[in-house]
Structure 1
Amino acid sequence: MKNNNYDKCENIFLDAINRIGCREYILIKERIYYYLSKLYEKSLDYENAYKCLKNSVKCKNILKNDSQVSLKRLKEKDMIYAVQKYKSLYDKMERISNLGKTLTANLDVEKFTYIIYEEIKKLVMLDTFAIGIYEKNKKELNYKIVFKNDKKLPGIVSKVEEGKSLGAYCICNKNDIIINNMAKEYSKYIYKVKINKKQLQEEAKSIISIPLLLDNEATGVMTVQSHKINAYTNEDLNELKILASYVAIAMRNLQLFNEAKHFAEYDVLTECFNRNKILSLGKKIYDESKENGYDLCVAMVDVDNFKSINDNYGHGAGDHILKSVARIMKKNIGDNDYIGRYGGEEFIIIFNKKNIEQASDICENLRRRIEKSKYNIGDRSINATVSIGIFEIHDNISFSDGIKYADESLYVAKKTGKNKIVKTS
């Protein structure tokens, strides 16, 4: 028989079931049915005990199905997130790869500079970006590419001494750096120089510096910097390291291209323009002078008694004389004037926007300086002089004829005593 306590409990449970209609409370409903079944069992009401237990099991099955659906949804959500994440990573890697191909194929320094800067800004936040080339023989980092607050700045050169700069650390250790609080972390890399509080306030707070490596040799450094603390992640570092490998190749390609271009235009011994370059440049200046009515003079310069120098002191001495004479002339001609090695011991000078008198004054200064200089050959000191022929190009005289007339003036100077200037116009 049911007593009053059983009846009271039964009514409370049944009232609770009636009040709970929402599927969200199915777990509570399952528990109520379970306890009701126990209540009926104790009161020997087995029929209702069975019914409540059956409803409890039914609620459990609903819970089980809901859990599986929720789990499935959660897994699908995780999968969608993973797919989106991997797609984002793939897109970044593809962008870096395409950028790398663009950089390694580009041989224009100015174009390369702006391409790399604009693309780096898409990868990470930055206030400063720089690429430095390591000049091993000088132990210097030559930062040829420097941007700060979107402005291209002049290059910076710094000595590579371990413990004195972040760039030096990268070069000496062939390792990268990620700093997210400069004030707290710099001493791990810069320990031979004390950075004061004012400098730390003005300097970047977060920095990534990466060595540019080729065949495990450090050829330079690439760095991005931000004035914000905690600006960079390891993911940023890894992306920039991939890009740095392309930058290293691109910088080497630029270097080789510029070297090849230099050798195509300059005489190896004297570092003056070679014959082809000075003649093509001279023709261009000649055309401009004709179009605009500028003065133009050509001078032919020949080292006197050069064969005797080679015969008496050796070809090494002759090379030394040529280099020294060329250095004196390059240093003492005008900013708009050009010099090239015409052949053997003969040079040509293009005097741009100068008349015969102005060109003669410069040539006389060159002649005196060369004559007064001493040229040390081993333990001996010898003298050298030059003869110069000058011609002012005017009217309808062609550039090639101007050279011919200057050469004829040079011939007169050589035949009438050497170490002199002969001018014609």
Structure 2
Amino acid sequence: MPFSYRLTCTALILSYPLLAFADVPDETLDNLLVTGERLTSNSEGTQRYTVPASRSAVGLSLTPRETPQSTSVITRQQIDDRAVQTGGDVLAQVPGISPSRADSNRISYAARGFSIRSVQFDGLNIPLSHFWNFGDTDWDAAIYDRVEVVRGATGLLTGAGEPSASVNFIRKRPLPEAAASVSAGIGRWDRRRATADVSVPLSSDGTTGARFVVAKGQSDSFISHLEDSHETLYGVISSELTPATQLTAGVEYQHNETVGAGASVPAFYADGSRTDFDRSASNNTHWSTFYNETTRVFADLSHQLDNGWTLRAAVSHNDGNYGMEYLYRGGFPDRETGLGMSSSFLNYRGNRTQQTVNVTAEGDFSLFGRQHELGIGWMHNKDDFEIKLATPVGAPPSTGSYFNWRDSVGGQASVGSVQQLR
């Protein structure tokens, strides 16, 4: 008897929704429009979380739907809303991009299982080195209007390389009207940052303008000895030489320096068991340093012909100075004594010069009763760098017990007078 009672109740409960919907009148709902764009008004017009068109895939101005590859764009609005501070932080926001950290400063990126071996600045290709990326992915994001990423092979614009992705950092340009913004922020671990962005018209008709960006920041870290400082200066002038000719020229200076740079903390002991160090534990010394100092000068000239075709010539020159000095400690420490790790003293100093030239032409033409769009171009890149390595003469310095990491074992005195350049 109790079983029949429960079965009857269940049947009534299940049938209730059907009875409730049986009396609903048949009517048509109003149209509902859903959009994924966030729109705000600023002096540049309408700023979005996307762009209407991009040239980063094949060099032609194509909408995202027309682009034959998977693309992502991190706009200025997204950079500001997410408080992103460096180009590396921007890439970390892009779907499908995987960072790989060699130490506190050297970060490489991959997409679709392959390394990203080049980046672009305003469409001009810059090769990257796995071991020494010259900070090209870690520059201050304050100077960029947006970052466009095309996943997959991009040989049309980057030449031979990995079928991973192309990253195009697009710099800010002068605005048609006067505008200025200043921001400052503080955070934990003594993080401090200030930026200023000023755009000024230089002619009454708005055909010539200048823009200046200044950014400075520094911070400590939860990792002992680790401190970062960043300085950025950027200036650009754009002018309409004629109604059909546009000239843009600018210079950027960036200086990044890290004190206490080093590798990651050992994850295992020599016996294979897991380590359990405090989060402040470091595998570096208080005297270790890593710095990038780069000055880039660039110019971009475009001219539109009467038939609608656009000619463009762009050049860029880069001078860089780089250095890295620290005691690398590898291997696995003994669980009881902390001894047994290997050591390698690294002291790199070097310079880099780079010239890039890009000439393109693009436009529409009719053929076989259809309208076509064609883009052709030529790019030249010359990259010269000389990095000198100073190494100890004889046996590498002893690291002692890793449990004494707070005392910066392997201090500079043990290696400072026994170096040779090679």
Where on the TM-score scale, by shorter chain, does this alignment land: which range? under 0.3
Pair member with larger Rg: 1
TM-score of the superposed pair, with normalisation by structure 2: 0.24
Report the TM-score, using the length of structure 1 for normalisation.
0.24
Structure with the bigger percentage of helix: 1
